[in-house]
Amino acid sequence: MKTTPLLALAILAGVLVPACAELEGVRTQDEWHPQGSQQVAYDEYSETFTDGAPVESSDSFTESGVSLANAPSTRITSLALPSGNPATSALLMTKSVPARVICFEEFTYDITVENLTAKPLNNVILEERLPDSLSIVDSEPAIHSYEDGVANWKLGTLEAGATRTVTITGRALADGLATSRAFVDYESPLTAEMRAVSPRLSLEVTIPEAAIPGDPFEIELTLNNWGPVPARNVDLSALLPEGLQTESGESSAKMVLPELAPDASHTMTIAAAAIRPGSFAPIAEASMPYGEPITVTGSTIQVRDTRLELTTTGPDKLFLGQPGKITLTVKNAGYLLAKDVKLNQPIPAGLKLDRVTHPVKQLNNNLSWSLGNMEPGAKSIVTFYLTPTKAGVLDISATAQAVMCTPAESSFSATMEGISALRFTVEDLQDPVVVGEACNYLLKVHNQGTAAGSNMEVVVTLAEGMRLVHAKGPTGGHTKGNKILFDTLESLDPGATATWRLAVKSQQAGNLQLSAALKSEVLGHAVEVTQSTQFDE
């Protein structure tokens, strides 16, 4: 229930006398002789006060024959609100103004508000209303609004025992008695304390750790009230993930609990079953007509079954005419015995079965193995060798299955290509050779493989004293120092031979060596051969 603040309004007047007129009389010993008929107060200063009004001042002057000597120069007034007695009031407002000011000269005065209570006062607003003969020049704090002689300061919250002082800089605009009035407005709420209590609920979900598809099990939702008051009209529900369902085939279950007493609990039991293997966690929720719902995710139930895993491994490339090793691995990755496991592998055209490491049945182009029963976690490995008969891409798929088990599949791909088998030889056609006569050499590259050779380079190095007479072959070339560099032979078909013929002379006798190197993309490294020839005088 909202409390209505008490609004306090106080009025505090401050009176000051501006001295604005010029000298209107001349002092002679004990008399004051005014010019004109107006009664004025006498002081040691020559000043005129209108209407003969009494003014507190630090100066000594008389009015109508009454002595005002030793009167204070500052006028201080205060007001306690709302009772007028500080002992029973909420706020004390004090106003301190000079008793006398000079026209058109700036002066300052203070208004102080004090919180007399032990609690904060809210939305404190101070208002000062000025006559036409006074104006405000500045203030600290700054004025919130000032219009038609009315100034406002929004002081906000005044804490218990706190004071706020507004210092105003003003100016008198006319001669005479000037009265300003201060008002204060504040909120003092009437408070009453009451303690609100509510139920404190907790929710637990209990579910088995494991289950088998189709077998029933129970999910329990336990709602506890740890609070000091009853929980009423509690909606209790469970949402089952895909793969679980209630005994009636629903994906959710719910109930309404009219009341749950303090320190009491209630258990909701749901009959459920799994419709497929996997890991599942139900979600439970408890909610009341008010407040935030409680949502809890239950622990995970593992729905176990017989599950086979199948993998196929082999080389990235198979070469024509050479057998390649293919391995099939079957694993029982489930939690139950895999019964009567069978493995099936079709063989596409262009491949020939070389051998198998496990008894196999072959019908047309299909291989099948009977692996028997497999315990959970057990593996069975089958290896067979396939020989490609033509180039292309090998794509094979194998299947493993067991009783009451979803088949497992595995695919494998590899390229099938020929292989370049290059043979490099160098021979001299004459040996020995007379110094100064030409010796003929034959350099041969023969492709013994099933794939074309590519990008072959031949480099010949002559021994000291040798020099090239002429060369002939499938590519041109050039000499560089004692080396003969033949141009690249881009391709060499299977079974083909490339031959270079060199004529070389020597100017010195001895057993001299001619070296040759073959480089090719297929070889991966240079193949070097040498030929020794005897040159005689």
Q: What is the pLDDT of residues 489-537, one digit of tens each?
A: 999 988 899 999 999 999 899 999 999 999 987 777 788 999 999 999 8
Mean pLDDT of 34-39: 28
* Confidence (pLDDT) at 307: 85
What residue ranges do the domains of the chain occupy?
A: 6-188, 201-303, 308-417, 422-536
CATH node for 308-417: 2.60.40.10
The span from the CA of 288 to the CA of 260, in Å, is 11
Homologous superfamily, domain 201-303: Immunoglobulins (2.60.40.10)
Nearest to 342 by CA among 364, 367, 312, 363: 367
* Confidence (pLDDT) at 213: 82
Would the CATH topology of 201-303 be identical to that of 308-417? yes
The span from the CA of 233 to the CA of 259, in Å, is 6
Architecture of domain 422-536: Sandwich (2.60)
Q: Is the pLDDT of residue 298 over 70?
A: yes
CATH node for 6-188: 2.60.40.10
Q: Where are the beta strands (DSSP E) in 347-407?
A: 351-356, 361-363, 366-374, 379-388, 392-401
Torsion of the alpha carbons at 481, 484, 489 and 495, rounded to the nearest 10: -150
pLDDT one-digit tens code per residue, 307-355: 899 999 999 988 888 899 999 999 998 878 889 999 999 999 889 999 9
Mean pLDDT of 469-495: 92
The span from the CA of 266 to the CA of 378, in Å, is 45
List the strands of the sheet with 338-346, edge to edge. Answer: 317-319, 408-417, 392-401, 338-346, 366-374, 361-363
Q: Is the pLDDT of residue 22 over 60?
A: no
Mean pLDDT of 379-384: 94
Torsion of the alpha carbons at 117, 121, 125 and 126, rounded to the nearest 10: 10
**47 exposed, middle or buried (CB, 10 Å; 0-12, 13-18, 19+)?**
buried
